[in-house]
Structure 1
Amino acid sequence: MFCGHAEFIVTQTDVNIEAEALLDGIITSSPSGVESLFNKTLQLKQSGLFTGDFTDLASRAAEGNSLVIGTNPAPSSVVYPQKSSTDAPYSASEASLRSAVKIPTSFTFGQKPPVILVPGTASTGYIAFVGNYLKLLTGQSYADPVWLDVPNYLLGDAQVNAEYVAYAINYISSISNNQNVSVIAWSQGNLNTQWALKYWPSTRGIVSDFISMSADFHGTTEAYLICLSAPELGCTPSVIQQEYESLYVNALRRNGGDSAYVPTTSIYSATDDIVQPQSGTGASAFLQDGRNFGVTNAELQTICPGQPAGGVVSHGDVLINALAYALAVDALTHDGPGSLSRIDLPTVCAQPIAPGLDLNDFLLNESTSIFALLAISEYNPKVAVEPPLKSYALLN
């Protein structure tokens, strides 16, 4: 789904103290649950920290286009219409699939390990990650990030959204000297990635790590509340598909889809304001390891109880969480999933925000929820029921 907020103050010496206090007031006065998104949007606008509208935020998505190469190169091997005869068919054109892959001018085409950043519902790759993993990973020796801007902000059919992930995995590997890639996904992006791994088997052998943030692999009981402001208008297709026990979710999870297809690190918060349930083995983000690839299920509050990194962390602020970042880096720099045994937990749990991020990044991350609410309100046509399953999903 999309982001909310965490209850912490960003404590860094170069942060403006007045803005910090104002943010703390906004954060601690907001109720929990989906309604906090609406309240926080209003409060951020009233505070003067955000004054824009949908047009202003949409221009933020376009900002990323100034950072990418002009034309994406052709793959070195066939990846469309199928890389393997076992892959599901694409409904989107190759031109659309390829243009959604945003390759920054800094990309090394295989000299460093590629990492694909997959956004969540009502967002773009640039908006979702500019205030966190784009900044944190760019220039690192162990990661070379690209991002996806899926059409319609991932509000359309989630099955089609997954096509963009499947294509990106094979495409980025192909233009990177056939190097393996890793995927960092947030919210719906995790469902799309798991769907791609399930129904495009050619992707599995070239994904070194799947790092999952705030996943709703089992859907969420909160999904339809997002559209309750105007129930007579219906909702967006992918939001309905993320309802708990939707057709889409059940298709994904059956026949072993509730187990990892590649080494997977799933990071989630029990206080998630969008995805519930999100605690214990019943958490929507919890993945099984039936294929023995290695899975780390990391509930922030269980690992860092009563500490800043394990406090009240919302759906979106998992992306700026210090423990989540430490696990992501550990996964990217080791074989298999991220391991808590290799992390200095006393130090990491005491950090309220990932090292390297500041107040501006916090605000960028927070604005994602504003963009999401506006994008959902602008999306048409709204629907009352989820899209039918693709024929290939009916068979497996």
Structure 2
Amino acid sequence: MKAGRIALIAALVLVAGLVPAATAAADQGPPLTVPAKELAASLTCTADVDRAKRDPVLLFPAFSTAQESYGATYLKDLPKWGFPTCSITLADRGYGDLQRAAEFAVYAIRTVSERSGRQVSVLGHQHGGIDWLLALRFWPDVPAKVSDYISLAAPHHGTEVAATVCTTLRCSPSQWQIRTGSKLLTAVNRKPAPRGPSYTSISTAYDELITPQPAASHMLGARNIVLQDVCPGRLVEHFTILVDPLTNQLVRDALEHPGPADPSRLAKPCSTSALGLPTLAGLPGLLGFGLRFTVNGVVATVPSEPTLRPQFATG
């Protein structure tokens, strides 16, 4: 009888010890399936990210490397503004399954937040914004680690261009996933973005790839800024938004103030020194970006959208 009571007490102690661990695991969301070495290899940071004095900024490109997307602007500007800066580059250059890409976003947020001892800000161009949003939406521990979310020309509601091309021809996995009506974006938009971060979505009316505007880039609960609403007629399209000086000012405004970007705080948003055109130094990179986008989009094609993983289907 005494032995039975001891066994019962031992079992209760064991269960009590396991419950917090199980709860903690549940609070982390789905486990990461990408190998740890591959996750670590994707992330590059400036040295001042450790014990940072300001929230670090994380950059996620789309259909390119971080250097190709942000080398002419944010990889240079953010450190000048005093922000520790990190970026992700995927081996598949962002043409693969965005459900897998989201794991790199989760890893980066957790790692940089732990290293810096602070929240982080995240910025993404095109589906780079969706990658960050997937991390925020489907991993419960992530929103508390993020202070600002900023997207540039992101297909929050998909793009009709991809819908037309993918159903007529073929597309890469991620191109299927950013088309209007995709299963992945339907899952993302099933619920509002989680509370905690400030959300800013910046888009251009002249976007030739993310259409129709402004509906395609509109994000519920975000400060939605169309560049031409700030500066009518501004000549910015899908790729030049990466080097547009007005966009640059709005990004900095969001990072340096509580809450989302606010165009009313900008001193001279439409000055003649900010025409919305790329500098000569940035033009070759943008032309190369467009060429690689076209070539890789043809090479990495699959016949249909990737199957939705259970956590995205039910989350």
| TM class by smaller structure | 0.7 to 0.9
Tell me the equivalent position of 1:65: none
Tell me the equivalent position of 2:228: 301
Tell me the equivalent position of 1:15: none
What is the rounded CA distance, in whole Å, between the counterparts of 1:272 and 1:328 in structure 2? 18
What is the rounded CA distance, in whole Å, between the counterparts of 2:64 and 2:152 in structure 1? 15
What is the rounded CA distance, in whole Å, between the counterparts of 2:159 and 2:268 in structure 1? 29
Task: Tell me: CA distance 1:369–1:350, structure 2 relative to 1, closer, same or farther (3 Å).
Answer: same
What is the rounded CA distance, in whole Å, between the counterparts of 2:47 and 2:291 in structure 1? 29
What is the rounded CA distance, in whole Å, between the counterparts of 1:189 and 1:287 in structure 2? 14
Tell me the equivalent position of 2:66: 125
Matched, 1:149 2:89: yes
Tell me the equivalent position of 1:334: 257
Task: Tell me: CA distance 1:109–1:371, structure 2 relative to 1, closer, same or farther (3 Å).
Answer: farther
Tell me the equivalent position of 2:16: none
Structure 1 unaligned residues grouped into runs of 5+ = 1-81, 290-294
Q: Which of 202, 219, 227 is the equivalent residue of 2:141?
A: 202
Task: Tell me: CA distance 1:208–1:185, structure 2 relative to 1, closer, same or farther (3 Å).
Answer: same
Q: Which of 175, 197, 200 is the equivalent residue of 1:262?
A: 197
User: SS in structure 1 opposite 2:148?
Assistant: strand
Measure how far apart 1:315 and its partner are.
0.8
Tell me the equivalent position of 1:222: 161
Q: Which of 145, 164, 171 is the equivalent residue of 1:235?
A: 171
Map residues 339-358 of structure 1 onto 2, 5 A cutoff.
339-345=262-268, 347-348=270-271, 351-353=274-276, 358=279
Measure how far apart 1:349 and its partner are.
7.3
What is the rounded CA distance, in whole Å, between the counterparts of 2:204 and 2:135 in structure 1? 24
Answer with 1 or 2: which has the greater Rg: 2
Runs of 4+ in 1 over 3 A off after TM superposition: 104-109, 224-228, 345-350
The one-character-per-residue Cα deviations of 1:194-241 (angstroms, maximum 9, x if unpaired) are: 11100012111121111110010111000155569x93xx32111111
What is the rounded CA distance, in whole Å, between the counterparts of 1:152 and 1:346 in structure 2? 36
Matched, 1:87 2:29: yes
Measure how far apart 1:189 and its partner are.
0.6
What is the rounded CA distance, in whole Å, between the counterparts of 2:177 and 2:247 in structure 1? 26
Task: Tell me: CA distance 1:368–1:107, structure 2 relative to 1, closer, same or farther (3 Å).
Answer: farther
Matched, 1:250 2:179: no
Map residues 38-117 of structure 1 onto 2, 5 A cutoff.
85-105=27-47, 107=49, 109-117=51-59
Instruction: Say which is worse superposed, 343-352 or 211-220, in terms of deviation.
Output: 343-352
What is the rounded CA distance, in whole Å, between the counterparts of 2:216 and 2:92 in structure 1? 25
What is the rounded CA distance, in whole Å, between the counterparts of 1:190 and 1:92 in structure 2? 20
Q: Which amino acid aligns with 2:88?
A: L
Task: Tell me: CA distance 1:385–1:340, structure 2 relative to 1, closer, same or farther (3 Å).
Answer: same
Are 1:183 and 1:207, in contact at CA under 8 Å, matched by a contact in 2?
Answer: yes
Are 2:207 and 2:213, in contact at CA under 8 Å, matched by a contact in 1?
Answer: yes
Map residues 287-326 of structure 1 onto 2, 5 A cutoff.
287-289=219-221, 295-306=222-233, 310-311=234-235, 313-326=236-249
User: SS in structure 2 opposite 1:338?
Assistant: coil
> How much is the aligned-residue C-alpha RMSD, in angstroms?
2.3
Q: Which amino acid aligns with 1:202?
A: D
When normalised by structure 1's length, the TM-score is 0.69
Are 2:57 and 2:86, in contact at CA under 8 Å, matched by a contact in 1?
Answer: yes
Give the length in aligned residue pairs.
292
Q: Which of 100, 103, 115 is the equivalent residue of 1:163?
A: 103
Tell me the equivalent position of 1:392: 311
What is the rounded CA distance, in whole Å, between the counterparts of 1:112 and 1:255 in structure 2? 31
Tell me the equivalent position of 1:182: 121
Measure how far apart 1:144 and its partner are.
1.6
Q: Which amino acid aligns with 1:250?
A: T
Task: Tell me: CA distance 1:183–1:192, structure 2 relative to 1, closer, same or farther (3 Å).
Answer: same
Are 1:320 and 1:362, in contact at CA under 8 Å, matched by a contact in 2?
Answer: no
Measure how far apart 1:287 and its partner are.
1.4
What is the rounded CA distance, in whole Å, between the counterparts of 2:272 and 2:139 in structure 1? 37
Task: Tell me: CA distance 1:303–1:99, structure 2 relative to 1, closer, same or farther (3 Å).
Answer: same
The one-character-per-residue Cα deviations of 1:222-277 (angstroms, maximum 9, x if unpaired) are: 0155569x93xx321111111101101101100224x7762011100111010001
Task: Tell me: CA distance 1:351–1:242, structure 2 relative to 1, closer, same or farther (3 Å).
Answer: same
